[in-house]
């Protein structure tokens, strides 16, 4: 479902490398650092000119938020001034980092810090970067409008309200260390120099799921059918209960998570997208294949396609194949597709 992006600190991968990697946005720092960690105006203009969206996070210390309201107010004032100097529009949010495993007992101090930030920016511009616990508690308390959740300190749980997820660390693009992120909402705080997203810049999305068991014959690609529409404002999943999740033409990014049972441990499972012709769905073009290995009992797989384009008169579908010797069962799953026209 997700739109793919990255975050990084002192290194600079460069716009060409970011685009080759499929990154649609870059999350960058604001802080008191003077050694090159922060986003600069020249970098913001370069990324904007290359069509890469920007997201900013303030971090003056991993546990700074424990200093409460006055600290949040001071940090927000400094962050707002830095962001303005970079060309960030005044309606865009700033994330504030809680970069440690904060406990429930520490949430009152964190909430006070966020109150201080809101007194400067307004509540609708306050975001939080943190693990599951602080994000969940801050949303519940109405302290943030935006959440950027890291998989660290999250024990495999994701808060569905968080617009951004940092889902994997310690990668490299063009020799620079980066973390992988995905946007889970059309508005995740992105901007370009002097530009807020609107109209065609804000992708539409389809969110579907299934809880209906589906047979997976051995060694045969099988279309996954979706029986639940969570969101489909433009009626892209118009064959309700069927496999098509997007009608061309469109640019899109897709992610799908499904659960499969009955495949012996160690068996290869593969997933891909296909773009089938409207007039004859037996004719198709296959997208990249991703490999997974069954862990036994039930295997969860997560397929992601950062960027592709489906032509007019074609539909996007998701397929899986299991290479066992007997039939297996897809027991459930979900998929999300962001698309632009």
**pLDDT tens-digit map of 38-97:** 999 999 999 999 989 999 999 999 999 999 999 999 999 999 999 999 999 999 999 999
Residue 199: pLDDT band with limits 50, 70, 90: low
Choose one of 135, 166, 199: the last residue of a domain. 199
- Residues 242 and 263: their CA atoms lie apart, in Å, by 24
Choose one of 199, 214, 248: the last residue of a domain. 199
Considering the domain architecture, whether residues 105 and 226 belong to the same structural domain is answered as no
pLDDT cut 90: percent of the chain above it: 81
Q: Assess contact for 159 and 139: CB atoms under 8 A.
A: yes
Considering the domain architecture, whether residues 171 and 211 belong to the same structural domain is answered as no
Number of domains, the chain: 2
- The CATH number that applies at residue 112 is 3.20.20.80
Considering the domain architecture, whether residues 17 and 161 belong to the same structural domain is answered as yes
Q: Is the pLDDT of residue 135 over 80?
A: yes
Backbone angles phi, psi at 58, to 5 degrees: -95, 130
Contacts of 111 (CB under 8 A, 6+ apart): 137, 138, 141, 143
Average pLDDT, the chain: 94
- The CATH number that applies at residue 288 is 2.60.120.1120
Considering the domain architecture, whether residues 280 and 142 belong to the same structural domain is answered as no
Residue 202: pLDDT band with limits 50, 70, 90: low
Q: Give the per-residue pLDDT at 204.
A: 79
Q: Is the pLDDT of residue 308 over 90?
A: no
Considering the domain architecture, whether residues 279 and 215 belong to the same structural domain is answered as yes
Residue 1: pLDDT band with limits 50, 70, 90: very low
Considering the domain architecture, whether residues 143 and 270 belong to the same structural domain is answered as no
pLDDT tens digit sequence for 254-264: 989 999 999 99
Q: Give the per-residue pLDDT at 179.
A: 96
Considering the domain architecture, whether residues 117 and 216 belong to the same structural domain is answered as no
Choose one of 181, 199, 217: the last residue of a domain. 199
- Residues 233 and 256: their CA atoms lie apart, in Å, by 19
What residues make up the domain containing 277?
203-340
């Amino acid at each position: 479902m997700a739109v793919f992006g990255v975050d990084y600190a002192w290194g600079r991968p460069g716009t060409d490398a970011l685009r080759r990697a499929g990154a649609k946005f870059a999350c960058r720092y604001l802080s008191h650092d003077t050694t090159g960690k922060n986003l600069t105006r020249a970098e913001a203009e370069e990324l904007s000119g290359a069509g890469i969206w920007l997201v900013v996070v303030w971090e003056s210390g991993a546990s700074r938020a424990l200093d409460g309201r006055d600290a949040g107010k001071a940090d927000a004032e400094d962050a707002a001034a830095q962001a303005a100097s970079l060309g960030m529009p005044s309606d865009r949010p700033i994330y504030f980092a809680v970069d440690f495993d904060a406990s429930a007992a520490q949430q009152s101090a964190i909430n006070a810090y966020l109150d201080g930030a809101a007194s400067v920016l307004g509540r609708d511009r306050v975001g939080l970067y943190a693990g599951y616990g602080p994000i969940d508690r801050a949303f519940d308390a109405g302290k943030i409008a935006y959440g950027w959740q890291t998989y660290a300190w999250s024990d495999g749980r994701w808060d569905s309200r968080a617009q951004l997820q940092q889902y994997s660390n310690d990668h490299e693009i063009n020799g620079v260390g980066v973390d992988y992120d995905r946007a889970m909402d059309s508005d995740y705080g992105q901007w370009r120099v002097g530009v807020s997203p609107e109209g065609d810049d804000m992708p539409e999305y389809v969110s579907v799921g299934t809880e209906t068991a589906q047979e997976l014959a051995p060694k045969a690609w099988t279309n996954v059918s979706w029986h639940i529409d969570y969101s489909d404002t433009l009626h892209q999943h118009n064959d309700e209960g069927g496999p098509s999740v997007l009608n061309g033409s469109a640019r899109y990014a897709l992610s799908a998570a499904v659960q499969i049972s009955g495949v012996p441990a160690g068996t290869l499972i593969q997933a891909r997208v296909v773009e089938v012709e409207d007039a004859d769905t037996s004719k198709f073009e296959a997208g990249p294949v991703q490999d997974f290995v069954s862990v036994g009992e039930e295997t969860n797989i997560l397929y992601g396609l950062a960027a592709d384009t489906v032509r007019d008169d074609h539909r996007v579908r998701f397929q899986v194949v299991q290479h066992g010797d007997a039939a297996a069962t897809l027991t459930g799953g979900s998929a999300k597709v962001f698309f632009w026209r």
